[in-house]
Amino acid sequence: MNRIMNKTVSVTGAGSIVGRAAARDLMNSLIKVLIKFGILTEDLDYHLIRAAMVIIFFFFGYQKWFAYEVERLIPYISNGPLIFWLYPAFGMRGATLFLGVSEWTFGTLLFLGFWNKKPGVLGALGSSVTFILTVTIIPFMPDGWDAAAGGFPAMTGNVPFLMKDVVLFAASVYLLKQDVTRVSSPAKQKRESSEVVLSH
């Protein structure tokens, strides 16, 4: 019996060692491929996040020009503790247009941030405020947690849509930090400008 147990242990041990080595080799190969594809390119993540935010602001701003979005925004604006005032101030259509203009403004500033970090700072600041305003709606959204599933944290209704804004807020803060760092470091900004000129 002891012989059988010893053989089983040795086979299992050898198999796990071989399995770990294979997994390590596979991971190393994957890392090499990602490096070849430029995943370590300086500022790749920074530029991708900026581009993603510009695209998001373009599409979300574009929606606001149409009547269907006026109706869709009612539960969000009505229950937003920091944006409920938009309806008394601008009316339903005006509030939606105000949001659309704001989103296109912040998106444009973020886009300009590809070349000039100062408008990028303003765009990222506006973006951060935007998503603070929308994330604060979550606790006040009626029927946001499914009672049949035990309530919180079982999201339902409009809450899942708002949850994406937690990530968008984090992306906005990341861009804000990066742009402020670049504006406050003139030597780095000068080097970046010369690189842009040389690339043209």
Model confidence over 2-21: pLDDT tens digits? Answer: 554 454 444 445 557 877 88
- pLDDT over 90 percentage in the chain: 58
Predicted local distance difference test score (pLDDT) of residue 10? 46
Query: CA 192, 174, 46: angle at the middle one, nearest 5?
Result: 40
- pTM, two decimals, is 0.74
In 3-state terms, what secondary structure has residue 17?
helix
pLDDT at 187 over 70: no
Predicted local distance difference test score (pLDDT) of residue 25? 78
DSSP labels, 63-83: HTTSHHHHHHTHHHHHT-TTT
Confidence at 149, pLDDT banded by 50, 70, 90: confident
Tokens of 78: 């009505």
Tell me the C-alpha distance between 62 and 100, whole Å.
Answer: 7
The answer to whether residues 85 and 143 touch, using CB atoms and an 8 Å cutoff, is no
> What would the pLDDT profile of 51-81 be if each residue is shown by its tens digit?
999 999 999 999 999 999 999 999 999 999 9
> What would the pLDDT profile of 76-94 be if each residue is shown by its tens digit?
999 999 999 999 999 999 9
Predicted local distance difference test score (pLDDT) of residue 188? 57
